[in-house]
Structure 1
Amino acid sequence: MADPASQLTLSQENNLLNLLHEAAEELRGLLQPAKAREETDHRDSAGLHTRLFQILRMFYEVQTQRVCVLREVLCGTANTLTGLRMCSNLTHTFPDRETQEKTADVDASCGSHFFQDHVTDVILNVLEDVHVIVNQFSVMSKRLDNGIAFLTEISRESKPESCDISIWLGQHPADHLLANAQSTRLPDPVKCCTLDDRNKSEESSHEETKVDSPYKTMVTDCKNCLNMNVEVEEEKEGEEREKSRGRDCERLKHTLVTVGLADRARSSESPRVCYITAPSEVVNILTCEVVDGLSSLMVSGSEELVSTVLRIQNSSHVKCPFPLTIAVPFQASYRGNYREITVKVVDPEQRVSYVTPTSTEGFYGGQRGWFAVVWVYSLGVFGVLSRLKTESFTVPKTGLSHKLSVDSRICLDYLPGSFSAPVVAQVTVQPVDAFVLSSLKSKNDSYHAALTSTPLLYLSHPSTLKLRQPLTVILPCPPISEKRKAGEDTDRPTLISGTFSPQQIRFFFFKSCKEQLVVLGWIESRWKVLDKVSVKNLQNSLVCFELPESYERLIVLRLQSSVKSSYLTSLVEELEEAVKIFSVTVVLHHERLDPSSVVVATLPSRDVSVAVRELQALGYYGPPEPSSELSMREGEQLLLRFSGNITCNDPIGNEQMDSHIITFHNQRRNRLFLRLKEVDPFGNYSSLHYKCVTSLFKVTKGQLVWNGDRAAMSKDCPLEEPVCRLPLTLPKSARTVCQPMSVKVIQHSQTDPPSDELLSWLCDELTEDDAALLVMSLHLRRSAVQIARLRSPHSLSKQAFHMLTAWRRGLPSSSPKCPMLAHCLTRAGRPDLARELLLREAAHYKMEERKPRET
């Protein structure tokens, strides 16, 4: 807060305004035509403008101090309200979902949560306006300083009479002053007034005037208003310069800068994922990390994620001067009247808060796009969401007729005396697509009588105050489509052979029954048919009804015949859940140039054809074909498991190496890139492809818990049956066959039989199974095997030696005996013995060659 001694009192401020008015009148006299100016005194025009700018600058400084005091008070109030709101959200944590829903119901019934949010938003909006005013004052002060510097330079270099002030006043003031401002230090306002006064006294001695100059009076009044002493100012000039330098250094230190932050896990040259506006010493200590593994836990109810999930935290112990301005890029494919953009913030203690963006578009990183710009008072996990608009309004005692901004056709009419005190009501509208109702009718024959429905209306009043007067509600309820009416008129039944077909009977039944309108309300935690409430048809497909008491949820159904109440309540329950469920198709495609690289995408069924063309443009093609339609909610996950001869490494690092997770979001691209690998290279020997089956298991949000930087599946929730299976193939690549070492090692005659010493060594290395397989590979006669067993019944190595000697005797002299024996050992599953046999044989020949030379 500013020093009270430096502030102006009310009377002093009025005197300052009077001086400003007098200076403006004299300036107006200077701008009179030439003939009129000849009659007036020749005044120092540059000095007059200098004084005028100085008075304006003093006035703006005083007002700036007052606005800064107001800004400090508003900042303290905003911090207090934000702290209270965060304390009220202590139980709003992700693992305890039931507690969160109960707390939300209590807040909605009392209305305090909505009132507190409304007050906080108003304070933040006013604080934003005050920031704008302070910035404008700063711009005004700079322009006046430039004007004072310009006029002071003119008064020093030239005479006042030679300065035609109307020349540069004809130009734009701001442009002229900024172009001609000097880099020298601006003079003190009071000192300039004194110097100009001395010049005036000297000029007045040469001029013959009978009236004293009005500038002396203006300077004297200015000194009296500001309580300034010229002598004291000259003595303290050095001290004021030091203080000014200190303030300039402090101002530069806290200068706000906008910096783009990249993902900490990637390189610094990666794209910027968010932009932060803060003092220069603060942005250097903030780090950002993409944690899309938490996207499932960032949405609830009708919320839809439209951006990446970011974790922004302070990497040092320096305290951040809140609030900070954060701009998060997002991309929303649907932005209707019923939905709005908000930013969800989860602090390190997992307390949830929602922040309304000050703007949803801006210019960051050299390009204009969609950015959710928010002021935050805490760091944590951030995500941009698209959710249903919640409209709050106050119902006074005198009543209110309120039309909703999201849909002007919806009107709530409160009669005078509806409540004993003013209350804050809150309304949310959930549109119901005709396709959703048609899909429910196709699944259950009991719902065929339902034709159309109104949107779901969520209406909240404080539970402590009851409704005293009937509440009139007007909702849009589309009639039967014109196409269907035209079809019924053209397909009028005709009597054929004295009988009617079943279609004709249904037509007569439909025509004979009149349409019915039924209201259902949510009371005592269940839907109930309001039989005592009568509904009227209005023009433009509107329906109107009166409620004797308040209900939390309302809907009107248009029926073609009477239906049981139990069927209607079950229909509305399924309808309320169906608007939150999406039809999803899973696409698994291979890259054309690298079949081992695949992409798995979960897409809304309505966008499959467009998404497949995008994947083809990236080089990904089928098979397999897209899966059948699956029913999924926003934020639910699909867990992939491979069963067969294909697997891949998990990029996320799950505990199970054969599982991968992909999260579905309605307004985001949900793609998972994998690298496939065969399990057994010799498997699927009768096919040109390796084969497996990919099973997809659905993981609901109730099965997920917060685990570090990702949502992990709870151990208490086992997996159910897979919702989908996709066949997967991987083409085999050409393998390089390694030739036996005998081709390179043996350089001597291969027709010589192996020695008894070599055969004895080989027999000692063979096991019983190896010997049996070797006998089968050598194609020995049965009689030779029996003779070997009879000669050495208790020694396996001797039996094998006798069999190998019998095999050696039976070979022709021209056949390669050692390579043949090595080949048989390889077929028997002992390639190591085959290699060792060839090496020993080569070493034996080398020794035989050296013996004659030594002798």
Structure 2
Amino acid sequence: SDSEEQKPGYWMNKEFLVKGSGKNKQEIACFIKAPATVLENLKCNILNETSSLVVDDSEELVSNIISIECYDYEKLFFPINIAIPFASCFRGNYREIMVKVTDTNFQSNYLTPISLQGYQGNHKESFAEVKIYHLGVFSVLSCLKKETFTVPKAGLLQKLSVDPRISFCYHPGAFGSPAPMQLKIQPIEPSLISALKSRHDMYYSVISTSALVHVQHPSAQPFNSSVTITLPCPPNPEKKRQGDETEHARAISATVKRVAAAYHPRAVSTSVRKTGENLSDTLKLLGRGNKEEGWKVFDDVIIQNAQNGLVSFELNEHLESFVVIRLSFLLENTYLLLFAQALEEALCSTMANVILYQKRENPYKIVVLLSASKELTNELQNLHEEGYFGPPEPTQQFSLREGEQIHFRFRGNISASENGEDFGKTYRLIFHSQRRPRLELQIKEVDEFGNHSSPHYKGTAVFYKITREMITKKWEQTLPYNEYQHQSPLCKLALTLPKHEKLVNRPRSTKRIFSDSSEALWDNLLFWLAEELAEDNTSLFALCLPVRRSVLQLVRLKCPDNLTHQIYELLCCWEKTLPRSADKQQLLSRYLQKSGRSDLAEELRLKCQNKAFT
């Protein structure tokens, strides 16, 4: 062990708990391994509201944001070990798990975990463990894997571990002294190219691209000779298909020629155009020296096709980023540059939707969450299993970068609260592609006498997109109350609440008085009638009872899976609206006849006549 670890004191592994979110009363912030005297001097907090400030493009947050502070720096000894729980989807060879440390001035560095073990104490989940020498704000990220190597004066052929098909061949004397290199490979999915082509017709000629290659050249030595770069750029699938068809066409053509030669000798000299003869791909290199320079098309670089979809070319200057594009026909450089910009933006973005669902059993409880569009079906299924349903339906999809925020407020006659007390606030969801931003809220009507011409209370949730550039760099992140008047909403979702029946307290002398026996008999009669109607799957609308739509909606929400109970509740609600002098049996028989159930109307009359209510 390190000499620093020999400080006096017994080393312990301590679990730090913080107040949880949602249904969890507490959750694990991290485990810290240090001398007991040091552990007593440390405190942890979760700062997830600052997550927009600690992620960059191509990084994906997979943990909580953990702040570790101490009460007394004189009692603090380094190094200490911290283990942060995280959850990450499998991302293949191109990505790796790193721990990012951010100081109070938002300066960051990255630590490679010494362990990604699945256990800490009695807890089984993934933990990223690192050795630290100073405190700060810690987060676990999924990052593009960095490949580091040094090019000697004698030259080097470097095949990358993330994809051995990608190689850099530095010839002898390429640099005057050993030159360190750092590379990151960002793969580009064919579906991303298809999405860009579907949105913009001008990109129709793009067939495929190579991965986007990022290179850091710290020594900034000039190239004495060119470097040969080889990387995959998928061939035109149409060309391969037509090539196979060409072989088939040749066989048919040979047969036709033999037959034609026997009857029409002149026909043999007729030339047959080969299928796919006009298919000739064009390869273009696009790159940039740095972000400030912008993208550039390198028309003078000759790119050669190699076997198995590989391409190679010579490069004699340093490029910070570059990509090879395969075209079915030539495209103007202006459009190529626009495509490169759109591609880079799309690589850093994810298509997402906002979902706002209400609890079926309690429409005053809602859930609002951000979901990646590709996960939308699974998210909706999970919400249905929890008892949440629409309307409203999810919003149209829109693009979000990692760490961008969605702020929303409620307008109209509906407001919301997290704790059931503070209504009318602004709420925030921060997008992270590997996490599930979610808020559970309570809603209520603002004015119980509002929307008087409607059977529902009506309101709208208005959503605004906040980019990372719009967020002030400070650790205390407060939500603005009314700063969106100059910003167009990203989207809106309308929602309703059923109006509840108001109980009117009448003077004692006007209250209806029933004998217990007659009230119980009538109640039994209503339940018998509900059972008879439910056997024939009679809908609530088919009963033709003069009740408001809000009553029908309330009855469905109260008894979602039992038609008998729905009809019984509806009959009870209808009965409560009748005046004291009304003949309930006669009215109910009339509605049954109107609904096409004369048989039940007659049976109801007989039961009332004989007082056979059971």
User: TM-score when scaled to structure 2?
Assistant: 0.73
Cα distance, 1:428–1:591 mapped onto 2, change above 3 Å = same
User: Residue 343 of structure 2 aligns to a residue in which SS?
Assistant: helix
Residues 523 and 355 from structure 1, CA distance in 2 versus in 1: closer, same or farther, beyond 3 angstroms? closer
Measured after TM superposition, the shift of residue 367 of structure 1 is 3.1
1:437 aligns with 2:155: no
Residue 448 of structure 1 corresponds to 204
1:35-68 Cα deviation digits (max 9, x unpaired): xxxxxxxxxxxxxxxxxxxxxxxxxxxxxxxxx7
Q: Deviations over 1:399-431 (max 9, x none)?
A: 010011111111000001000011111111111
Task: Describe the SS at the equivalent of 1:313.
Answer: strand
Q: 1:738: how far off? A: 2.9
1:614 aligns with 2:369: no
| CA distance 1:344–1:413, shift in 2 (3 Å) | same
Task: Determine the structure 1 residue equivalent to 2:12.
Answer: 257
Percent of aligned pairs with the same residue?
38
Q: Would you say the 8 A contact 2:419–2:442 is kept in 1? A: no
Amino acid in structure 1 at the alignment position of 2:288? W
Offset at residue 706 of structure 1 (A): 3.6
Matched, 1:623 2:378: no
How do 1:281-320 and structure 2 match up within 5 A?
281-316=37-72, 318-320=74-76
The answer as to 2:429 corresponding to 1:674 is no
Displacement of 1:282 in angstroms is: 1.8
Partner of 1:523: 289
- Per-residue CA shift, 1:5-62, capped at 9, x if unaligned? xxxxxxxxxxxxxxxxxxxxxxxxxxxxxxxxxxxxxxxxxxxxxxxxxxxxxxxxxx
1:522 alignment partner AA: R
- AA aligned to 2:454 is S
C-alpha distance in 1 between matches for 2:397 and 2:482 = 28
Q: CA deviation at 1:482?
A: 6.5
Q: Does residue 576 of structure 2 align to residue 576 of structure 1?
A: no
CA drift at 1:718: 6.6
Instruction: Summarize the Cα distance change of 1:521–1:265 in structure 2 as closer, same or farther, 3 Å threshold.
Output: closer
Contact 2:411 2:461 in 1 (8 A): yes
Secondary structure (helix, strand or coil) at the match of 1:576 reads helix
Alpha-carbon distance in structure 2 between the residues aligned to 1:477 and 1:554: 13
* Residue matched to 1:332: 88
Provide the C-alpha distance between the structure 2 equivalents of 1:281 and 1:269, rounded to a whole number of angstroms: 28
- 8 Å Cα contact 1:304/1:667 also seen in 2: yes
Separation in 2, partners of 1:372, 1:670 = 22
Q: How far 1:318 sits from its partner (Å)?
A: 4.7
Distance across 2 between alignment mates of 1:462 and 1:336:
27
- Please give the alpha-carbon distance, in whole angstroms, between the structure 2 residues aligned to 1:594 and 1:579: 40
Deviation at 1:489? 4.5
Q: Of the candidates 485, 497, 508, which is equivalent to residue 241 of structure 2?
A: 485
Is 1:591 aligned to 2:373, yes or no? no
Change (3 A) 1:711 1:409: farther
Structure 2 vs 1, CA of residues 717 and 597 (structure 1 numbering), >3 Å: closer, same or farther?
closer
Q: Distance in 2 between matches of 1:523 and 1:351?
A: 24
Partners of 2:85 and 2:126 within 8 A in 1? yes
RMSD: 3.1
1:393 is the counterpart of 2:149: yes
Q: Deviations over 1:188-236 (max 9, x none)?
A: xxxxxxxxxxxxxxxxxxxxxxxxxxxxxxxxxxxxxxxxxxxxxxxxx
Alignment of 1:128-527 (within 5 A): 254-263=9-18, 270-316=26-72, 318-462=74-218, 464-481=220-237, 485=241, 489=245, 511-523=277-289, 525-527=293-295
AA matched with 2:503: T
Contact 1:650 1:660 (C-alpha < 8 Å) held by counterparts:
no
Q: State whether residues 705 and 713 of structure 1, in contact with CA within 8 Å, keep that contact through their aligned partners in structure 2.
A: no
Q: Residue 675 and residue 365 in structure 1: after superposition, are their counterparts in 2 closer, same or farther (change >3 A)?
A: farther
Offset of 1:273 from its aligned partner?
2.3
2:492 to 695, 717, 725: 725
TM-score using structure 1 length: 0.53
Q: Which of 330, 334, 340 is matched with 1:566 structurally?
A: 334
- Whichever residue aligns with residue 120 of structure 2, its letter is Y
CA contact (8 A) 1:297 1:711 kept: no
1:646/1:690 contact within 8 Å kept:
yes
Q: Deviations over 1:451-491 (max 9, x none)?
A: 00001111122464100011000011011237982699599
Range 681-690 or range 559-568, more displaced: 681-690
Contact 2:180 2:219 in 1 (8 A): no
Residue deviations 1:111-154 (CA, integer Å, cap 9, x gap): xxxxxxxxxxxxxxxxxxxx8xx9xxxxxxxxxxxxxxxxxxxx
The alpha-carbon distance between structure 1 residues 463 and 571, as it changes in their structure 2 partners (threshold 3 A), is: farther
SS at match of 2:193: helix
Counterpart Cα distance in 2 of 1:339 and 1:711 = 33
1:526 aligns to what SS in structure 2?
coil
Shift of 1:653: 11
Question: In structure 1, the residue corresponding to 2:75 is in which secondary structure?
Answer: coil
**Structure 2: which amino acid aligns with 1:526?**
G
Structure 2 distance, partners of 1:538, 1:714, is 59
Contact 2:239 2:279 in 1 (8 A): no
Alignment size in residue pairs = 484
Contact 1:635 1:663 in 2 (8 A): yes
Q: Note the residue ranges of structure 2 that are not aligned, 5 or more in a row.
A: 250-272, 512-614
Q: 1:423 to 1:275 in 2, by over 3 A?
A: same
Structure 1, unmatched stretches of 5+, are 1-67, 76-130, 135-249, 493-506, 745-855
What corresponds to 1:829 in structure 2? none
Decide which structure has the larger Cα Rg and report it: 1
- Aligned partner (choices 464, 470, 483) of residue 697 of structure 1: 464
Q: Say which structure, 1 or 2, has more relative contact order (CA 8 Å, 6+ apart).
A: 2
Q: Distance in 2 between matches of 1:726 and 1:265?
A: 29
Q: Equivalents in 2 of 1:540, 1:487: separation in Å? A: 15
Contact 1:334 1:667 survives alignment (8 Å): no
